[in-house]
């Protein structure tokens, strides 16, 4: 800075005389790599211009700002401007020393510096800060980076970053001050940041992350707002680094405010034609229940949807929360107001280098010419995120060409959608097994899913490949097709071979109704019979062709399909084999399941029941087509361990009538939450009877079987591990038991 000051002073002194004189020549000196014309193109002055001190000063600043020069001098000699430059060196090589935790290749991806680029001190500082930021993401806040320049001939340099990685900085303690209604252990579960424990070596949420810490603050407010405390204030949130930079201590100071419950809920409307009585059905808030901000948001969403169906596109719904601090009651008034009449002029999609425009537009349920609807815009952003094709999704409106028009900008950043899964595992049924899977979720940018899998175990092996089309025939239909080949040891005395294909079509009938249609065609053969094989199964061992149509219809509402904790699901499934082929039967299965949290959200009661019937459409119903019961669908018993059995061979003959019921209570194991171990206790009941074909040596009855036990599910870093132990306390002598069951699989 001092050097630059003297240059400017020198220029000023040289230019005191001759002010206003036209420049006849610009002379560039000292440049080796950069052409004169390139340098002249950056200057705010050209031959023939009249210059003053300010213009010469601007020349100096402009050339420094290019980043090409280590030093620049500008002065005037009569009618000539003389520019003397010292070029920045060129990077010959970039090296990193002392980095054990991060590979050189990772730095290359993150840093903007590259060999053969012009080096500037600004770039060095930016790279230094970026390296420190990378280490901070790993929790190494004591890391040090020292850039070192090694000069080479021809104005080239080697750039070496000498790194001291330092120790990992974990979160040692999380403190809460002012929390009276909830214990600190309960509030810690809300946070994304976690306290370090020795067993948490496969996760990194116990490392301090400033972004995560900011999100934690919002999660605390949201938690209190959804649990009766709308006036909660976070007085302070402090992240303290220990003097030795090896630990972080997080402290949240909370003012909980008064606890409220819901009072009266009303709807007011500025639009006279709105039927308020009809809209009252949309309110999901009940008087007397604990205040919950999410229920207010949910009611606004339902009201907006209902008004949209009624044809009211230009509305705003604002909740007016009237709190009585003395009684602890909060009345809610939903004010429906007419919003500005704005229409979508244009939708601009950017960043989808691979994904086709039409894939994105069908998720954006608002089109050019439609009325502006903030809810639909928010839903469009969420729908695009749910696709899983993009790292970042931003759907933002902006002003259009007129006051009543708006443009919608959809900005995307794509991510990889291909997956290669290699799995190994063990189960008490299949023994050791391995599987290989390949899946592409956005084939050629069309949103189609292509998949192929292969599996090999002691009991079975098979391969399959298929495609899923989420918008079949450009409609809201999910179409699928799969081909497969399998060989499984269906009973202890023979193997079942199958080669076939499946076609499916699914669609939503409404928010709570879903239906799926299927067609299966499969060539089957029974092989590998031993001397003890059942005569009934032997007679059914000829080559067969299955041609089957079926449907499943669901009615229900679950908070999660993968791991439900609340809600219900009812289904009816029917299959008809006999659309050609040699196999003929009609199958019906009715199923009902309900989930309800008890005491806390983590303790969930599950009640499930199902029953099924198969009817003959030909001479018999094969064993392989009949219902089975045991192992995964009846714990405490072996695979095909319940139901009719051949007295001589011991082979299971399965059945054409069945019912089953399960009562299960899932709850935390009591071990640290970070271990992700849940437990359950269960009681199962059921019966399977009436085989498709029987003889005098068939064992069969309608007596109920029952078992009780407990299970543990560990979501381990190696994959899910499930263990259950159950005792059949009602069974028949010929039933086959398996009390201990183990299932482990891993994908890497």
200: confidence class by pLDDT, cuts 50, 70, 90: low
Among the residue ranges 40-44, 263-267, 661-665, the one predicted with the least confidence is 40-44
Tens digits of per-residue pLDDT, 279-305? 888 898 999 999 999 999 889 988 887
Say what percent of the chain tops pLDDT 70.
94
| Predicted local confidence at residue 20, as pLDDT | 57
Are 463 and 440 in contact, with CB atoms under 8 Å apart?
no
Tens digits of per-residue pLDDT, 691-722? 998 888 899 999 999 999 999 988 776 667 88
Any idea what the CATH number is for the domain that residue 520 is in? 2.40.160.50
- What is the span of the domain harbouring residue 45? 2-87
Any idea what the CATH number is for the domain that residue 128 is in? 3.10.20.310
464: confidence class by pLDDT, cuts 50, 70, 90: very high
Tell whether 409 and 424 lie within a shared domain. no
Average pLDDT, the chain: 87
Query: Cα–Cα distances in Å, from 91 out to 63, 88, 117, 149, 224?
Result: 20, 9, 6, 10, 55
Which letter, b or e, does each residue of 532-561 get, where b requires 16 or more Cβ atoms within 10 Å of its Cβ?
ebbebbeebbeebebbbbbebebbbebeee
pLDDT of residue 748 exceeding 70, the answer is no
Query: Cα–Cα distances in Å, from 246 out to 164, 166, 214?
Result: 14, 9, 21
Tell whether 692 and 643 lie within a shared domain. yes
Tell whether 333 and 347 lie within a shared domain. no
The torsion angles phi and psi of 428, rounded to 5 degrees, stand at -70, -15
| Predicted local confidence at residue 599, as pLDDT | 80
Tell whether 302 and 379 lie within a shared domain. no
Strand blocks (E) in 400-512: 405-414, 418-427, 431-443, 448-457, 460-469, 478-491, 494-508
Tell whether 75 and 106 lie within a shared domain. no
Last residue of a domain, one of 255, 283, 299: 255
Tell whether 548 and 520 lie within a shared domain. yes
pLDDT of residue 8 exceeding 50, the answer is no
CB atoms within 10 A of CB 592: 17
Are 276 and 269 in contact, with CB atoms under 8 Å apart?
yes
Tell whether 231 and 308 lie within a shared domain. no
Tell whether 328 and 385 lie within a shared domain. no
Tell whether 233 and 272 lie within a shared domain. no
Among the residue ranges 16-25, 152-161, 319-328, 520-529, the one predicted with the least confidence is 16-25
Beta bridge partners of 496: 488, 526
Among the residue ranges 86-100, 442-456, 527-541, the one predicted with the least confidence is 527-541
Tens digits of per-residue pLDDT, 111-126? 878 888 888 788 888 8
Tens digits of per-residue pLDDT, 357-387? 999 998 898 889 888 877 788 888 888 988 8
Are 282 and 299 in contact, with CB atoms under 8 Å apart?
yes
Q: How far apart are CA 633 and CA 413, in angstroms?
A: 43
Tell whether 700 and 637 lie within a shared domain. yes
How confident is the model over 297-325, as a mean pLDDT? 84
pTM of the model: 0.65
Last residue of a domain, one of 395, 414, 433: 414
| Predicted local confidence at residue 7, as pLDDT | 47
Tell me how many domains the chain contains.
6
- CA atoms in the 13 A half-sphere facing the CB of 255: 6
pLDDT of residue 676 exceeding 70, the answer is yes
Last residue of a domain, one of 148, 164, 180: 164
- Is 81 exposed, middle or buried, given 0-12, 13-18 or 19+ CB atoms closer than 10 A? buried
Angle at Cα 471 formed by Cα 465 and Cα 476, nearest 5°? 130
Say what percent of the chain tops pLDDT 90.
41
Tell whether 114 and 217 lie within a shared domain. no
Who contacts 386 (Cβ-Cβ below 8 Å, separation ≥6)? none
Tell whether 670 and 531 lie within a shared domain. yes
Are 720 and 714 in contact, with CB atoms under 8 Å apart?
yes
| Among candidate residues 417, 453, 415, 447, the one with its CA nearest the CA of residue 434 | 453
How confident is the model over 47-58, as a mean pLDDT? 83
């Amino acid at each position: 800075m001092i050097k630059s000051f003297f240059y400017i002073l020198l220029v000023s002194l040289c230019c005191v005389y001759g002010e206003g004189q036209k420049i006849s020549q610009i002379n560039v000196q000292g440049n080796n790599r950069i052409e004169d014309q390139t340098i002249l193109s950056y200057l705010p002055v050209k031959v023939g211009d009249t210059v003053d001190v300010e213009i010469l000063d601007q020349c100096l600043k402009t050339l420094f700002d290019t980043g090409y020069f280590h030093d620049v001098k500008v002065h005037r000699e009569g009618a000539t401007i003389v520019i003397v430059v010292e070029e920045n060196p060129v990077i010959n090589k970039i090296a990193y020393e002392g980095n054990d935790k991060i590979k050189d290749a990772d730095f290359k991806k993150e840093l903007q510096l590259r060999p053969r680029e012009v080096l500037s001190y600004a770039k060095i500082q930016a790279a230094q800060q970026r390296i420190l930021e990378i280490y901070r993401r790993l929790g190494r806040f004591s890391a040090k980076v020292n850039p070192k320049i090694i000069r080479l001939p021809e104005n080239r340099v080697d750039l070496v970053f000498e790194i001291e990685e330092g120790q990992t900085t974990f979160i040692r303690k999380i403190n809460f001050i002012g929390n009276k209604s909830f214990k600190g252990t309960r509030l810690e579960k809300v946070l994304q940041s976690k306290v370090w424990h020795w067993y948490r070596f496969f996760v990194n949420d116990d490392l301090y992350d400033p972004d995560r810490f900011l999100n934690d603050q919002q999660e605390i407010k949201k938690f209190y707002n959804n649990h009766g405390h709308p006036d909660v204030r976070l007085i302070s949130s402090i992240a303290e680094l220990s003097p030795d930079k090896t630990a972080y201590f997080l402290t949240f100071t909370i003012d909980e405010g008064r606890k409220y419950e819901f009072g009266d809920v009303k709807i007011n409307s500025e639009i006279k034609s709105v039927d308020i009585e009809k809209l009252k059905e949309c309110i999901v808030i009940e008087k007397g229940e604990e205040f919950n901000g999410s229920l207010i948001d949910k009611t606004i969403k339902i009201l907006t949807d209902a008004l949209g169906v009624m044809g009211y596109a230009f509305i705003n719904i604002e909740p007016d929360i009237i709190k009585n601090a003395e009684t602890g009651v909060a009345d809610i008034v939903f004010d429906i107001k007419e919003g500005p009449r704005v229409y979508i002029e244009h939708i601009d999609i950017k960043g989808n280098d691979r994904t086709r425009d039409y894939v994105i537009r069908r998720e954006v349920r608002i089109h050019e010419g439609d009325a502006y609807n903030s809810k639909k815009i928010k839903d469009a952003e969420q729908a695009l995120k749910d696709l899983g094709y993009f790292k970042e999704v931003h759907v933002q409106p902006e002003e259009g060409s007129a006051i009543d028009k708006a443009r919608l900008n959809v900005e995307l950043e794509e991510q990889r959608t291909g997956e290669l899964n290699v799995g190994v595992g063990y189960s008490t049924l299949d023994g050791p097994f391995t599987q290989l899977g390949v899946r592409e979720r956005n084939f050629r940018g069309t949103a189609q899913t292509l998949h192929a899998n292969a599996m090999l175990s002691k009991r079975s092996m098979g391969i399959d490949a298929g495609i899923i089309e989420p918008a079949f025939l450009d409609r809201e239909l999910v179409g699928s097709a799969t081909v497969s080949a399998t060989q499984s040891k269906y009973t202890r005395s023979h193997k079942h071979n199958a080669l076939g294909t499946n076609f499916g079509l699914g669609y939503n009938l409404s928010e709570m109704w879903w239906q799926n249609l299927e067609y299966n065609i499969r060539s089957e053969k029974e092989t590998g019979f031993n001397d003890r094989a059942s005569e009934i199964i032997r007679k059914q061992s000829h080559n067969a062709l299955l041609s089957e149509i079926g449907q499943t219809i669901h009615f229900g509402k679950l908070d999660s399909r993968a791991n439900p904790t609340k809600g219900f699901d009812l289904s009816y499934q029917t299959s008809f084999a006999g659309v050609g082929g040699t196999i003929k039967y009609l199958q019906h299965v009715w199923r009902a399941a309900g989930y309800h949290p008890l005491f806390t959200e983590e303790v969930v009661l599950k009640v499930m029941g199902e029953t099924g019937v198969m009817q003959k459409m030909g001479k018999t119903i094969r064993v392989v087509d009949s219902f089975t019961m045991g192992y995964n669908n009846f714990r405490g018993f072996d695979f095909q361990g319940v139901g009719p059995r051949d007295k001589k061979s011991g082979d299971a003959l399965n059945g054409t009538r069945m019912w089953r019921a399960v009562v299960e209570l899932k709850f935390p194991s009591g071990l640290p939450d970070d271990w992700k171990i849940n437990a359950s206790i269960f009681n199962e009941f059921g019966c399977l009877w009436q085989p498709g074909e029987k003889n005098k040596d068939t064992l069969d009855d309608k007596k109920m079987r029952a078992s009780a036990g407990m299970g543990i599910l560990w979501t381990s870093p190696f994959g899910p591990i499930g263990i259950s132990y159950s005792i059949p306390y009602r069974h028949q002598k010929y039933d086959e038991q398996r009390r201990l069951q183990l299932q482990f699989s891993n994908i890497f």
